[in-house]
């Protein structure tokens, strides 16, 4: 950390003039934006926008993920003083990154939320920026996928999760974090045989054609081999990466709505994500962080690191 900069920098979320570069603002002080990037609704000149989707009314168990984006932003304040470790380049200095704030919506009209998300994310993409979203429950991915597919065509999906979220649901009015991927497949916005789900450890016989590397496979193969297998499956196809924090074992991420034992470690997830360098990542999200069940903040810390890795993955092929 630069001692002189730390003495003078404060509220970089509002006061920083440049969209690039580190921030040495005291971790414990100031307004918390993601990685101390500038809050801005004006995305002119922005390469990547981070946005919050604070919706959690589609959960089957414990709520609280509406508070996830705020917690992830605060947890990210540990990181912006240095380049992300091990990448060999500094995404914060080479790309213009902004925090576009959260999506506005009527909390009492949940059926309208998927379309609001689609329009919100589409607005970011139409401004010429990529989008990394902070959830929210996993249903928020559906609207984000719709927006990305409208821009890039049907997508491969790399999904880190304890659950496949492909349970059948043909009721268009329902919003459910366990059925959104089924609907995405039915809509033709996802290409299942070029997609992969990592860390699965709950039963759902109908895979809809997704390739599955369940938690046992990850533990047996090792994270490096998992990353290589993902490259084989996805190839050069445009892809979207969604990371449900319950992919991690509850020992590493207790603050989530539907925790399942036997999951990935933080180390395994970090190695896999780093090993995905070179994929044609169009956008992504990290979801299902529930701060009320995260007393030490470890889940939010993990999610903040995942979101940073997504920025690095996006930038890797665009340096």
Annotated binding site for Mn(2+): 138, 161, 163, 165, 244, 246
State both tokens at 55. 């919706």
Helices (H), the chain: 3-8, 12-15, 68-75, 91-94, 113-126, 140-152, 180-186, 215-221, 223-234, 266-275, 298-316
Interacting residues of 299 by C-beta distance below 8 A, sequence separation 6+: 245, 248, 252, 253, 254, 255, 256, 289, 290, 291, 293
Q: Annotated binding residues, as ranges?
A: 138, 161, 163, 165, 244, 246
Give the Cα separation of 54 and 151 in Å (integer).
Answer: 23
State both tokens at 75. 């947890």
Give the Cα separation of 277 and 298 in Å (integer).
Answer: 25
State both tokens at 21. 């570069």
């Amino acid at each position: 950390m630069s001692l002189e900069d730390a003495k003078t920098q404060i509220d970089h979320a509002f006061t920083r003039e440049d969209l690039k570069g580190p921030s040495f603002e005291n971790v414990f002080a100031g307004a918390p934006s993601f990685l101390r990037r500038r809050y801005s609704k004006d995305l002119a000149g922005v390469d990547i926008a981070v946005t919050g989707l604070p919706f959690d009314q589609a959960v089957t168990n414990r709520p609280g993920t509406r508070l996830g984006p705020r917690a992830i932003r605060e947890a990210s304040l540990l990181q912006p003083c240095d380049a992300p470790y091990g990448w060999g380049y500094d995404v914060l200095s080479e790309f213009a990154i902004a925090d576009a704030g959260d999506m506005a919506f009527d909390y009492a009209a949940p059926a309208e939320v998927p379309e609001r998300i689609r329009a919100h994310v589409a607005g970011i993409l139409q401004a010429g920026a990529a989008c990394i979203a902070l959830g929210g429950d996993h249903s928020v991915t559906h609207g984000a996928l719709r927006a990305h597919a409208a821009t890039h065509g049907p997508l491969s999906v790399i999904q880190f999760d304890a659950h496949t979220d492909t349970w059948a649901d043909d009721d268009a009015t329902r919003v459910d974090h366990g059925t959104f991927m089924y609907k995405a497949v039915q809509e033709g916005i996802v290409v299942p045989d070029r997609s992969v789900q990592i860390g699965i450890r709950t039963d759902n016989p109908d895979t809809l054609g997704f390739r599955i590397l369940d938690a046992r496979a990850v533990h047996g193969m090792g994270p490096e081999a998992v990353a290589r297998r993902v490259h084989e499956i996805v190839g050069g196809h445009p892809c979207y990466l969604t990371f449900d924090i319950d992919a991690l074992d509850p020992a590493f991420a207790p603050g989530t709505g539907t925790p399942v034992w036997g999951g990935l470690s933080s180390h395994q997830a970090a190695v896999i994500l780093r090993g995905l360098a070179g994929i044609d990542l169009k956008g992504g999200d990290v979801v299902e962080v529930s701060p009320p069940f995260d007393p030490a903040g470890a889940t939010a810390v993990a999610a903040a690191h995942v979101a940073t890795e997504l920025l690095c993955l996006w930038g890797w092929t665009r340096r």
